[in-house]
Amino acid sequence: MNINDAMKLLEKNNVTNSKQMLRRWIRQNKIKAVLKSKKQGYEIDATSLEVFIKEKLRNDQKPGNSDFQKGYKAGYDAALQEVSERYKKMAVMGMYESNFPIYRNEFRELCSRRISKHRLNDFLIFVDKEFFAKQVSKPRNKIWCNSIGNFFYFELTQLLIDQHDYEVDSELSLDAIAYDLLLRRLNEQFIDADSSTSKIN
């Protein structure tokens, strides 16, 4: 089952109509999926998706989900969203709580451990083009990352990542989290870019 098939089921059950939300649930391991290849994208486990949908619908129908509780949760979620939006604006404006470099050689080493061998070379070329060599002729040795709240903003590239979009090991150091998030985001962009090219060809 691919992303489009999964979306049909989610929309049919009024769970979501957002592919971004589906990808977020996959990244958070709430729905089991395997990345088959950069061309094919995710292969989603049908049973896992069905269980997820049933759980989602069951939670929405629980007696404890009274109008008051739903209203409280909606207000709480709205407040969190407002705080998150504020952090997002601050990050883009160059404000930060922590600031540290992302080194190209260290990132390439991380890629070699986490990206399959048959994809690695193409992926590293993509990483240089879209990140370390963005808007310059030669790849930079490092890119500075600003961290504030739940956001990581990578200078010179205008790449902004919300930590809440991914399941993150809270035991990791801040810079290790940044490396991890960057790898995941660039891998997604790599897959999307290749899929678009395949459709054009």
What are the residue boundaries of the structural domains of the chain, listed by start? 3-61, 90-200
The pLDDT mean for the chain works out to 83
pLDDT above 60 (res 35): yes
Instruction: Report residue 44: phi and psi, to 5°.
Output: -95, 135
d(CA 17, CA 127): 30
pLDDT at 13: 87
| Token pair 């490396």 in the structure block, residue | 179
> Percent of the chain beyond pLDDT 90?
37
pLDDT above 90 (res 71): no
DSSP line for 18-76: -HHHHHHHHHTTSS-EEEEETTTEEEE-HHHHHHHHHHHHHHHH-TT--HHHHHHHHHH
The pTM assigned to this predicted structure is 0.62
pLDDT above 90 (res 64): no
pLDDT above 60 (res 148): yes
Spatial CA neighbour of 2 closest among 56, 40, 38: 40
Res. 164 pLDDT band, cuts 50 70 90: confident
pLDDT at 85: 80
Please state the rounded mean pLDDT for residues 159-168: 87
**Between 69 and 105, the higher pLDDT residue:** 105
Total Cβ atoms within 10 A of residue 108 = 17
pLDDT at 87: 78
Q: Which two tokens stand for residue 63?
A: 């007696």
Spatial CA neighbour of 111 closest among 91, 130, 127, 129: 127
pLDDT above 50 (res 72): yes
